[in-house]
């Protein structure tokens, strides 16, 4: 038992007033209590495992690209297409899954996500000739991508449904940071099962016009790969598919066996308060500024950065819960430090600062630690600011914009000969832009105020202020 509070209701506003007030409905019975259940940790672990696995499968081909391209005769565009199904699925289906979370609840959404992931993993295991593998693998990645929107949009809803106020941001941080662990795991698991394709030419790191590039002819060597070598690597690739499918099958079975929509008794006042219906909530969100404003060497760096990002998400989320809010201050500090770290990285790549591998590692990993720690805080800040719009609608809309941006990013990458240096400037511009916007943003804690004081006043005339 974490806390005792009165039953609350949403008093309908009069035509002359736009205030939404929650007040005591009646004197509560002595035994009325908000309750938390130990099973919430098991459900958090299961949700975390499913969400992390979805990201792991999404990046399967990115982690073994150097082998898949010469062995299967693929190119960078083929690998990018396998990856792009994630953001495509998010952009196309996020409204559907936001509705599913809001109307049908967590249980149905989790069952749909885990089942779609299992279908995708199973399709990839179908043994077909090499020339047809591109089809089965793309279909599998598409189904896995369809399983992602509910998992990405659901953390704040899961947290408010099962956790008390002083643990909510931590729970959201765990669920949103697990993607980084899944990404890190893909860089470790994939190459450990699918051995590296040994090319005859040397690969070297050398300066060119002040930058450091990797020169390799691997993409052209697939014509010289013998059938024996191909067969060995293809068997390894299918073994990876089988292992991932088996793991997803276990998670899917556990979800079907037990994943309730909500606990018997809510953990807080805001957990039992009715949210805006889906369509009215979406309309409110569309004009609410509280939503719009916040909106080998390479393999090792990728893995370490992903791990650092996961740690950042957990650490900063816990800090917010401990200090009881102050999300804007935390975001400002983290965002400013992120700008400094990425500027350091950019100066290294341009040769303005003397290049060394240790500095490269430090700048990227520290940047990942900082920037990957912000998504759970942004999610909670937006949910607090637009409450009583439901968590599913608010987070789903945020994730749609995130996925749409990623989709544009990946589509631009597919333009022939565009290079990669532009991505550095795009990232620097994006994170720098966040700092002045956060400075003018007026944070609101509508949901937390309801949980801590038992009353909450939301004035529509002021809720749209920056």
Q: What is the CATH number that goes with domain 36-454?
A: 1.20.1250.20
pLDDT at 286: 57
pLDDT at 284: 57
- % the chain with pLDDT above 90: 16
Name the pTM for this structure: 0.57
pLDDT at 289: 55
Over residues 287-309, the mean pLDDT reads: 56
pLDDT at 135: 93
pLDDT at 126: 94
pLDDT at 19: 40
Q: Is residue 10 classed as helix, strand or coil in its secondary structure?
A: strand
Q: What's the pLDDT tens digit per position in 249-273?
A: 999 999 999 999 888 888 877 666 6
- The Cβ of residue 54 has, within 10 Å, a number of other Cβ atoms equal to 27
pLDDT level of residue 363 (50, 70, 90 thresholds): confident
- % the chain with pLDDT above 70: 68
Q: What's the pLDDT tens digit per position in 211-228?
A: 333 344 444 444 455 677
Q: Does the pLDDT at position 292 exceed 70? A: no
Long-range CB pairs of 77-85, under 8 A, 24+ apart, other chains included: 77/414, 78/134, 80/410, 80/413, 80/414, 81/138, 81/414, 82/137, 82/138, 82/141, 83/58, 83/59, 83/141, 83/410, 84/407, 84/410, 84/411, 85/138, 85/141, 85/142, 85/144, 85/145
Closest CA to 413 of 89, 167, 87: 87
pLDDT level of residue 403 (50, 70, 90 thresholds): low
Asked if 169 and 376 touch (Cβ cutoff 8 Å), the reply is yes
Residue with more model confidence, 354 or 222: 354
Q: How many residues does the chain have?
A: 466
pLDDT level of residue 335 (50, 70, 90 thresholds): confident
* Burial of 57 (C-beta count, 10 Å sphere; 0-12/13-18/19+): buried
Residue 250 to residues 53, 275, 382: CA-CA distances in angstroms? 11, 34, 34
Taking CA 372 as the corner, what is the angle to CA 52 and CA 49, rounded to the nearest 5 degrees? 10
Q: Does the pLDDT at position 160 exceed 80? A: yes
Helix/strand/coil percentages in the chain, nearest 5: 70, 5, 25
pLDDT level of residue 163 (50, 70, 90 thresholds): confident
pLDDT at 1: 39
Of all helices (H) and strands (E), which one includes residue 22? strand 19-24
Q: Does the pLDDT at position 287 exceed 60? A: no
Domain ranges of the chain: 36-454
pLDDT at 80: 79
pLDDT at 120: 95
Average pLDDT score over the chain: 74
Q: Does the pLDDT at position 345 exceed 70? A: yes
Distance in angstroms (rounded) separating the CA atoms of residues 334 and 456: 29
Q: What's the pLDDT tens digit per position in 230-241?
A: 888 899 999 999
Q: What's the pLDDT tens digit per position in 72-99?
A: 888 877 887 888 888 788 777 777 887 8
- The Cβ of residue 88 has, within 10 Å, a number of other Cβ atoms equal to 20
pLDDT level of residue 138 (50, 70, 90 thresholds): very high
* Burial of 108 (C-beta count, 10 Å sphere; 0-12/13-18/19+): middle
């Amino acid at each position: 038992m974490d806390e005792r509070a009165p039953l609350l209701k949403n008093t309908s506003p009069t035509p002359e007033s736009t205030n939404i007030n929650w007040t005591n409905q009646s004197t509560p019975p002595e035994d009325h209590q908000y309750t938390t259940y130990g099973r919430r940790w098991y459900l958090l672990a299961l949700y975390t495992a499913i969400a992390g696995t979805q990201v792991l499968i999404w990046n399967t081909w990115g982690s073994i690209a150097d082998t898949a391209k010469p062995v299967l005769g693929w190119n960078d565009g083929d690998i990018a297409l396998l990856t792009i199904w994630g953001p495509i699925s998010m952009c196309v289906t996020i409204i559907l899954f936001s509705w599913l979370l809001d109307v049908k609840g967590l249980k149905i959404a989790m069952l749909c996500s885990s089942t779609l992931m299992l279908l995708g993993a199973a399709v990839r295991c179908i043994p077909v000739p090499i020339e047809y593998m591109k089809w089965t693998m793309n279909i599998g990645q598409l189904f896995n991508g369809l399983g992602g929107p509910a998992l990405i949009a659901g953390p704040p809803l899961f947290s408010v449904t099962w956790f008390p106020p002083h643990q909510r941001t931590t729970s959201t941080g765990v669920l949103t940071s697990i993607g980084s662990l899944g990404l890190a795991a893909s860089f470790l698991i994939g190459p450990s099962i699918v051995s590296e394709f040994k090319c005859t030419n040397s690969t070297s790191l050398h300066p060119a016009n002040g930058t450091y590039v990797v020169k390799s002819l691997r993409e052209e060597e697939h014509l010289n790969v013998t059938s024996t070598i191909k067969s060995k690597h293809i068997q390894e690739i299918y073994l990876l598919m089988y292992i991932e499918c088996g793991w997803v099958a276990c998670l899917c079975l556990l979800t079907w066996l037990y994943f309730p929509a909500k606990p018997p008794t809510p953990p807080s006042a805001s957990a039992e308060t009715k949210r805006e219906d889906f369509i009215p909530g979406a309309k409110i969100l569309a004009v609410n500024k509280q939503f719009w404003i916040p909106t080998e060497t390479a393999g090792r760096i990728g893995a370490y950065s992903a791990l650092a990002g996961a740690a950042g998400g957990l650490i900063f989320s816990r800090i917010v819960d401990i200090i009881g809010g102050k999300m804007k201050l935390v975001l400002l500090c983290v965002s400013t430090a992120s700008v400094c770290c990425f500027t350091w990285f950019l100066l290294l790549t341009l040769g303005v600062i003397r290049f060394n591998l240790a500095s490269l590692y430090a700048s990227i990993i520290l940047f990942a630690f900082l920037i990957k720690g912000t998504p759970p805080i942004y999610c909670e800040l937006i949910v607090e600011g637009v409450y009583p719009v439901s968590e599913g609608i608010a987070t789903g809309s945020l994730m749609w914009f995130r996925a749409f941006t990623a989709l544009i990013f990946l589509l631009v990458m597919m333009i022939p000969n565009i290079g990669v240096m532009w991505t550095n400037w795009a990232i620097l511009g994006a994170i720098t832009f966040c700092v002045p916007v956060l400075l003018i943003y007026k944070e609101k804690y509508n949901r937390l105020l309801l949980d801590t004081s038992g009353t909450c006043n939301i004035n529509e005339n002021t809720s749209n202020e920056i």
